[in-house]
Chains A and B, each alone.
Chain A
Amino acid sequence: MYGKGLIKGLGVTLKRFVDTYLDDIKWMGKRYYTAEGLAHRSSKDAKGVFTVQYPEEKLPVPEEFRYVPFLVYDEGEKGEILNRCTACGICSKVCPPQCIWIERATDPKTGRPKQEPTQFIIDVDICMNCGLCAEFCPFDSIKMDHDYEIASYGRTIHHLDDLMKPASYYDEIRPINSAKEAAARKAAAEAKAAKAAARAAKTKAKS
């Protein structure tokens, strides 16, 4: 019959149309602006209205989500800032669009390089959010952020002050990764201590 295909197709839209209302009724007003509603709308059983009412509603970002990089600092006992970055330059070397500029500090007395940055510039307009810097940082210092709402009218260039965020913030946005890295750091420190102790014992035995 001519027109059968047309009717079949219209049936699909009609079903979707009805489903929208049925699902809304089923959730009794909890379908929108609630975390469960949002989770339902992005699950395999989602039907009906699929859209998210951004910015009133925001989809939670997964842990691995990556946006422009920032620098993690640890807080000392008296609240002093202990920058993890040693200005080794690996992030700036691995960066594909070359958007990281780092100045390594020099000791004013000896003139030798010190393991900390005096300047750290990330040109966010160039950054392509690839995450390679975070992947290859040996000191767990540079990490990718979750804050994606950084639109501005002008250029966005992050200097050292803009980049520094506390380790507690990092733990909050990436709990699994940060725990994993902390464990690895601890293991490495213990291995190093054990090695040093062994060496000390050896020299002692020799003498």
Chain B
Amino acid sequence: MTTLDFSTRFPEGVVADEREGYEGYIIAADKLVEFATTLRDEYGYDYLSSVTGVDYIAEETFEVVYHAYKTIGGAELVFKVQVARDKAEVPSLTDVYPGADFQEREAWDLLGIKFTGHPDLRRILLWEGFNGHPLRKDWQEAYYEADIKPFKSRWPKPEYARAEARNPYGANVKYPEKFDPEKWVPEGEDALYGSLAKYETTDDDGLKTDHLTVNLGPQHPSTHGVFRIAAKLDGETILNLKPVMGYLHRNHEKIGERNTYLQNMPFTDRLDYLSSMSNNFGYALAVEKLIGIEVPERAEYIRVIMAELTRIQNHLFAIGMFLNDIGAFFTPSLYAIEERELVLDIFEMVSGSRMMCNYFRFGGLARDLPAGSLQKIKDLVFDRLPRKTDEMDRFLSENEILRSRCVGQGLLSAEDAIKYSAAGPVLRASGVPYDIRRAAPYSIYDRFDFNVALRYNGDIYDRYIIRLDEIRESIKILQQAVEQIPEGEIQTGKPRYQMKVPAGESYGRVEGPKGELGFYLVSDGKGNPYRYHVRAPSFINLTAFGPMCKGLKIADVVAVLGSIDIVLGETDR
């Protein structure tokens, strides 16, 4: 937590948030842009990490919560804006921090907070005809049963019914008046391509040309899921593009607010389903901050080991699929998957599942390492993985075709990377040495000797090669961790499925394989989180996708997207 004195600079409109368990500053809506500009230019908080809203329905208030950081490291600065629920308008920060773009759209989509001055305030995760804003506390989903789990219908007098029996177009679905979903069509192309509207130009010879809007996806092999890219083209050159997402949206945050704290843990596995251990880590940190519980030494080591193994297998997969995307069909990706399988074997042995690990608990872990698993990890990190990483490097990094395709393409400068709130390898490949494990160490990362992987060109090639660098650094951490790991407890206190969580807010963040993964929690002292928000790196890294692609040929879009490394379970949430 950071405390600054704003009283001389802002005698009015900036007050400290003094609610019990809360931190940061409350800014008057009309001072917000000025405050943010000052924060960025005078105080050095150049990186806006997270923007989200909270619906305090009892107080008739919406609160927009911002988390800003300095890219030179240090703790966060939280600032908030409160507006009346019936007149939810907040000035947009896209001019000061362009990285707020998608996040403000998300807050508009899910909470219905209007950001005045936002250049393209459309829904982002839900479809255009959706009625209402689901994260508002008075909104109920189609299969709604009760506000919070556990449901009363389960025990001791069960009323067995399938969720969908309550749903299909029955009384539980609300549509606006005179709305028929069968007959609805989006209002012209504007609704879908609003900011991409095509226009005509006349070239030097007086020839009239039309710009063309092309959709890549939703079914396109390069997207690794259901994801659409609406691109405006001049010939084959990209003039502008907008990612269109939400095909896999399931309102993870609403589900999270219905769940008890512990019940949420397996749901976090399903965000970035390639790196469930990292997701567990971030969520556990956020809740532990709220409860104020310590984690035993041995559990900390196991956590770090699992998080770094996750990074390795995620990056292997990312590299493999990236090379696949740009035309090295399947050989590199299957080489990478071999190593990934061996890491997943360890996850399965330890947690019981290869991908949906659900291994972390508040104040520890679900269980200790089973016999033999530590030896398996040692075998991998001392012998196989270094060898195979070098092989992967030798395989294609110097390949002339790959280099001519990637070097100098899809550029993202250091300034832009910060501006667009890019995180993780995307940020570091642009020459910004920002890694949460170093910038604001959590868990026991301050004990290990490793370097922050850094590349300077910010092109596709650097975003590829930095992942190999990071694998090597992770192996370094793992080699130290498996040697130092002490014996001992793996859980503080008795494992509990319902615990007392004091009222307040917390923001837990980890350096996930894809970037900063943050969990913003608000507790009202009950068994379920009042607000649960995920700062998803896959989602926010896409803010820079459009700017990266401007001026490239359409075939390069595939390479750029591959180099960002998104997982749609996390993008769409």
Contact = CB atoms under 8 A, between A and B. Distances in A.
A binds B: yes
A126 B500 CA distance: 28
Interface in B334-386: 335, 338, 341-342, 345, 348-353, 356, 358, 366-367, 370-371, 376, 379-380, 383-384
A62 B349 contact: yes
Interface stretch (A87-95, A185-193, A199-207): A87-95
A43 B380 CA distance: 9
B263 A5 contact: no
Interface residues of A, number: 51
28 contacts: A3-B400, A5-B403, A8-B394, A8-B398, A44-B342, A44-B380, A45-B384, A61-B348, A62-B370, A64-B350, A65-B348, A66-B352, A87-B156, A94-B262, A98-B151, A101-B153, A101-B154, A101-B155, A102-B156, A103-B156, A103-B157, A103-B158, A121-B158, A123-B162, A130-B265, A131-B358, A132-B358, A176-B370
Contacts of B397: 5
A45 B367 CA distance: 28
Contact of B352 (A3, A43, A65): A65
Contact of B264 (A64, A65, A96, A104): A96
Contact of B358 (A12, A95, A130, A176): A130
A109 B144 CA distance: 38
Interface string A106-117: 000000010000
Interface string B185-226: 000000000000000000000000000000000000000000
User: What are the 4 tightest A-B residue pairs by CB atom distance, in nearest-first order?
Assistant: A5-B398, A130-B266, A101-B158, A89-B155
A173 B244 CA distance: 46
A68 interface: no
Nearest to A2: B400
A142 interface: no
B526 interface: no
B464 to A, nearest CB: 14
A127 to B, nearest CB: 11
Contacts, number: 142
A132 B266 contact: yes
Given A101-B155, A121-B160, 18 more contacts: A2-B400, A5-B399, A6-B399, A9-B399, A12-B394, A44-B379, A44-B383, A46-B338, A46-B342, A62-B370, A64-B349, A64-B350, A89-B155, A94-B263, A96-B265, A129-B353, A132-B262, A136-B495
A102 B400 contact: no
Interface in A113-149: 113, 119, 121, 123, 126, 128-132, 135-136, 144
B184 interface: no
A63 interface: yes
Given A65-B348, A144-B352, A132 B399 contact: no
A89 B341 contact: no
A4 B396 CA distance: 11
Contacts of B158: 101-103, 119, 121
Nearest to A133: B497
Contacts of A126: 163
A94 B497 contact: yes
A72 interface: no
A3 B404 CA distance: 12
